[in-house]
Structure 1
Amino acid sequence: MKRYLSTALLLHAFMTYGAFAQDSYDAARFASSDLNGTARYVGMGGALGALGGDISVMSTNPAGTGLFRSNEAMISLGLLWADDGVLGKHSVRPSIDNIGLIISSRVATEGQKGLKYINYGVNYTKRANYFSNLNCSVDNLNGVFSQTNQIANLANTCYDGNFESWGLLADMSAPMFDEDGNLVHGGIINEDESGYYGVGAEQAEYRRATYGSNIQCDFNISMNISDQFFFGLALGVYNIDYNRESLYGEIGTDGNYYSLSNWYQTTGDGIDVKFGFICRPIADSPFRFGINIHTPIWYSLRDQNGAYLSSNGNYISSGDGGVFDYSYRTPWVFGLSVGHTIGTNFAIGAEYEYSDYSTSKYTTDDGYEDAYFRQINDNTKRFLQGVSTFKIGMEYKPIDAFSVRLGYNYVSAPMKSDSYRIIAADSPFTETDFTNWKAINRITFGFGYRYKVGYIDFAYQYSAQKGDFYAFDEVNLKPTEISNNRSQFMCTLGFKF
């Protein structure tokens, strides 16, 4: 069953790598968002959907900017801590978390009913920060399980006697010979007359570093009707730059070891529209509730990836997966919020959002759902689920100029616990690992000082999430429990004019 190098094989491999590499794990990543914005917003856990009065609420309930009665400009800077650095990447990164401007235009004089203010805003923030590090040992291999078993299965699926349908991972990992029978490059899987087979592993380690962000810029208009009804609309523009580098190494039962290095990048742009409404049902009461609806984000994305394989310290092969353009649509988002103030010294807010990740959808870059994307979308419906986000936050002013804040978030798991990564035999994708992430818990607190022409706020956020990590797809392999814990410290400087 030896695989021979030929012009036809090289041509077909080039054509094959024009396939796509997206899956439900990417869908979950780009549908999700972090808690980010001004220090006041973060300090209160983002639970300002009904309270309003902060520019960052534009990204959730755009009616919240309708409560502004003066012009404001602000900037937020921060530091983000992840687990210890790996693959040459640091564990601390600086971040510009928010730059915003509100222009408040009075329409009616004091005491008049009807339309009182029309406010305009623009706000830059980070919808998601992809900064994380992972360094773990892969447990429970027992000399039986191995990544090479999955690769051998891919190679056996690829091989049909005509050297057709080879994916990049199998192509790199299987031995190749020239037409004279000389070895062109070795492999990490073995072969006999029945086909390719893997070698059980004694131990394995995995390291991964991700970085980049999803930048969000909202353009907002909001209206204040009689200080009782507030309406808002925001047009969101997004820019994704997601990067991942990983290194997986195994020591086999035969004493040999190999390492597979991967890099992967997604870039692109997106757009959505957000609608918001806030109401004070009793005119003389500070209690209010809010409703917000977000359309899907329509992304136009591009993927690139590559890999490098070595065995016993010697180079085996490398590959470039090519460039792939496609479209991706996130799910709708629906939110409800309530808020209440007691005098001028205490405010409390709560918020609930729901988004059904299983309705995410991939298409070709011209919007067509071909057979490949139909299969990916079916897997997305199968593996992803509805995500609920709960937020609660409060603010207390012991004196008029000084505020103390506290917040909490709970975000339910996006993946079903039995999800797994499906790699097509002819895929350019070279990573077999996947993580079924569980719920996210965030705790926040902060404080701020107000003065006549501005303010300064500080906030700290701790985010904790556990997940079941699998280095490769094997039904009987027990997962390795990992965590993605991050800390963020930030400061906002604001000016009123």
Structure 2
Amino acid sequence: MKIKYLLSALATVAFAQNSFAQYAQDALRFSTFQPGATARIRGIGNAGTAVGGDLSSIGNNPAGLGFFTRSEFSFTPEYNGSNVKSSYLGNNMSDKRSAVNLSNASIVFHSRVNSARGADKSKGLLSFNFGVGYNRTNNFYENITYGGQNGGNSVANYYANLANANSVPKEELPQEGTLQGIAYDQRLIDLYNSSNSYQSNVRGSVAQLSNTMRTGGQSEFNLAFGLNSSNKVYIGGSVGISSLRYNSINTFTETGTASLFENGNDVNRNFTSDFIRDQSTSGSGINVKLGMILRPVESLRIGALFTSPTWYNIDDSYSEGISTQFDNIRPVSDRQNYDFSYNLRTPLKLAGGLAYFFGKYGFISGDVEYVDYSSAKLSFNGDRDDNTEIRRDYKSVVNSRVGAEARLADSFFLRGGYGFMGNPLKNGGADMNTVSGGLGYRFQNYSLDATYTHVKTSGTVRPYDIGPATPIANLNNRFSNVYLTLGVRF
């Protein structure tokens, strides 16, 4: 990691980011992506490992490209709606956010191999198809708001703990440019000779309000091939060029009363203070996928997929600061910036799937996927313990997806699906559950598919860390997404 500031400042950042942007948490955030897909595959719960013949194969199991008998193009815009309900110190709140993005754009070029006149069209290598696709694999868009009345502690206790943890001698001021130094300069903490330690100047109950705005996502550009051997064995591979962008702005506002030492006396003054933390992260990476689909009989397909780790190069910019105003005194603000570069290796993934086709009437499909999140690895130009935290706090999971498609008429299709994404945390956290449903219409060389998905999960967040007394906000996240795919064969 490229360090532009003193190691003591770096230690402060690592501690300050414990509940907000710690690198071990970002390693998990950027490792939980899923394959991008068309509305059709989204409609069956993303259970497409063994289905084949869909442009989602470019970003999922490339062996599925071997099922194409014509060239095809499609694009899929998506609508994302986020609703986060919070509970903090007995107070309930909620916040929403929505965005429109491009979910998928793909094209496959069909090429027959065994095309000689009189040749057996059912044996040997029959086709070699090449695909190019863009997939959005993760969305970070959401707003999170929580707040309440805290009669037990203040964020100023956190600043004081920072000063005391760094063993600042009582005859010295906290280091300039650190968070505790900013808090001292703004009179939120002070040194009390009776205890020989820094303490909070805040007295009594305080009103607290946190607002976080997150944007960005992950995407992948894939170059893939799929071949068909005797209509029985389908093999494919792809190279994925990944990119990520994550932005988070958090403002934690506290309003209350502080006791200040002025002119030899303790004076109580009303105050409002904002603890501001911003993160901007971007990166690019590469991965490889190898897949196979076997069709032992006409109605059954068995799929397998290996997805290598994604090797990311990441640039991270983090800043934190405090802005405080006492009574009608002009507010004082200060901020410190920290810029780092590091490498991330996400976990590899192993997936298997089955799909059973009922002739022309439809099919059912199911997938299982294994991911060991504790195998993610961060690489820095420096000595850090984030990988120890990854191994300590994360675990392996088995994700599952199931779905079905039914032909209602010659050109109309009905789809439904369910997805389960296991909780990667050893302690706390929650599973993620997705329910989906969709419709499809085929006419001549064109197709139109629409899908709605509803995602539920939950979690906790800490505005600051002061040990067992740290206040905790409980979050219930709901995401509503709509996908629309337009396709054409040529």
Q: Same fold judged by TM-score > 0.5?
A: yes
Q: Secondary structure at the match of 2:299?
A: coil
Query: Within the alignment, does 1:148 sit opposite 2:148 as a pair?
Result: no
Give the number of the structure whose residues are more often strand, by fraction: 2
TM-fit CA distance, 1:225: 1.0
**Which residue does 2:388 correspond to in 1?**
378
TM-fit CA distance, 1:18: 6.3
> Is residue 63–residue 292 contact of structure 2 (8 Å, CA) maintained in 1?
yes
Distance 1:138 1:384, change over 3 A: farther
* From 219, 224, 228, the counterpart of 1:220: 224
* Equivalence map 1:416-431=2 (5 Å): 416-417=426-427
> Is residue 16–residue 165 contact of structure 1 (8 Å, CA) maintained in 2?
no
* Equivalence map 1:71-470=2 (5 Å): 71-83=71-83, 91-109=97-115, 111-138=121-148, 141=150, 143-161=151-169, 168-175=178-185, 186-193=186-193, 194-198=196-200, 199=202, 201-252=205-256, 254=258, 256-280=271-295, 282=296, 284-312=297-325, 314-364=330-380, 370-372=382-384, 375-417=385-427, 437-470=429-462
Distance 1:165 1:439, change over 3 A: farther
TM-fit CA distance, 1:489: 1.1
Task: State the one-letter code of the partner of 2:375.
Answer: T
Distance in 2 (alpha carbons) for counterparts of 1:60 and 1:470: 36
> Is residue 419–residue 433 contact of structure 2 (8 Å, CA) maintained in 1?
yes
Task: State the one-letter code of the partner of 1:273.
Answer: V
TM-fit CA distance, 1:160: 3.9
TM-fit CA distance, 1:158: 2.6
Distance 1:163 1:217, change over 3 A: farther
Distance in 2 (alpha carbons) for counterparts of 1:336 and 1:308: 48
Distance in 2 (alpha carbons) for counterparts of 1:384 and 1:204: 31
Pick which of 268-277 and 477-486 moved more. Answer: 477-486
Task: State the one-letter code of the partner of 1:414.
Answer: P
Distance 1:309 1:349, change over 3 A: same
> Is residue 83–residue 96 contact of structure 2 (8 Å, CA) maintained in 1?
no
Q: Secondary structure at the match of 2:127?
A: strand
Task: State the one-letter code of the partner of 1:93.
Answer: A
Pick which of 248-257 and 348-357 moved more. Answer: 248-257
Distance in 1 (alpha carbons) for counterparts of 2:36 and 2:478: 16
TM-fit CA distance, 1:246: 1.0
TM-fit CA distance, 1:16: 5.0
> Is residue 121–residue 219 contact of structure 1 (8 Å, CA) maintained in 2?
yes
> Is residue 137–residue 205 contact of structure 1 (8 Å, CA) maintained in 2?
yes
Residue by residue, what CA displacement relative to the aligned partner does 1:59-95 show, whole Å, maximum 9, x if unpaired?
232212221111011111121111389xxx9822111
Pick which of 66-75 and 159-168 moved more. Answer: 159-168
TM-fit CA distance, 1:387: 2.7
TM-fit CA distance, 1:232: 1.0
Q: Secondary structure at the match of 1:47?
A: coil
> Is residue 241–residue 285 contact of structure 2 (8 Å, CA) maintained in 1?
yes
Distance 1:167 1:446, change over 3 A: farther
Query: Within the alignment, does 1:32 sit opposite 2:38 as a pair?
Result: no
**Which residue does 2:262 correspond to in 1?**
none
TM-fit CA distance, 1:136: 1.1
Q: Secondary structure at the match of 2:347?
A: coil
**Which residue does 2:264 correspond to in 1?**
none
Q: Secondary structure at the match of 1:352?
A: strand
> Is residue 308–residue 319 contact of structure 1 (8 Å, CA) maintained in 2?
yes
* Equivalence map 1:2-41=2 (5 Å): 17=9, 22-34=22-34, 36-41=36-41
Distance 1:34 1:292, change over 3 A: closer
Distance in 2 (alpha carbons) for counterparts of 1:315 and 1:276: 60
Q: Secondary structure at the match of 2:110?
A: strand
Residue by residue, what CA displacement relative to the aligned partner does 1:7-29 show, whole Å, maximum 9, x if unpaired?
xxxxx966755677542211110
> Is residue 463–residue 471 contact of structure 2 (8 Å, CA) maintained in 1?
no
Distance in 2 (alpha carbons) for counterparts of 1:171 and 1:34: 42
Distance in 2 (alpha carbons) for counterparts of 1:253 and 1:278: 67
Q: Secondary structure at the match of 1:442?
A: strand
> Is residue 401–residue 450 contact of structure 1 (8 Å, CA) maintained in 2?
yes
Count of aligned residue pairs for this structure pair: 446
Q: Secondary structure at the match of 2:179?
A: helix
Pick which of 74-83 and 110-119 moved more. Answer: 110-119
Residue by residue, what CA displacement relative to the aligned partner does 1:283-319 show, whole Å, maximum 9, x if unpaired?
x341121111111100000011223422237533322
Residue by residue, what CA displacement relative to the aligned partner does 1:239-274 show, whole Å, maximum 9, x if unpaired?
111000111122346453321122111011010111
TM-fit CA distance, 1:172: 2.3
C-alpha RMSD of the superposition: 2.5
Where structure 2 has 5 or more consecutive residues not aligned to the other structure, the ranges are: 15-21, 86-94, 259-269
**Which residue does 2:19 correspond to in 1?**
none
Distance in 1 (alpha carbons) for counterparts of 2:292 and 2:420: 23
Question: What is the TM-score normalised by the length of structure 2?
Answer: 0.85
> Is residue 47–residue 365 contact of structure 2 (8 Å, CA) maintained in 1?
yes
> Is residue 345–residue 400 contact of structure 1 (8 Å, CA) maintained in 2?
no
Pick which of 460-469 and 27-36 moved more. Answer: 27-36
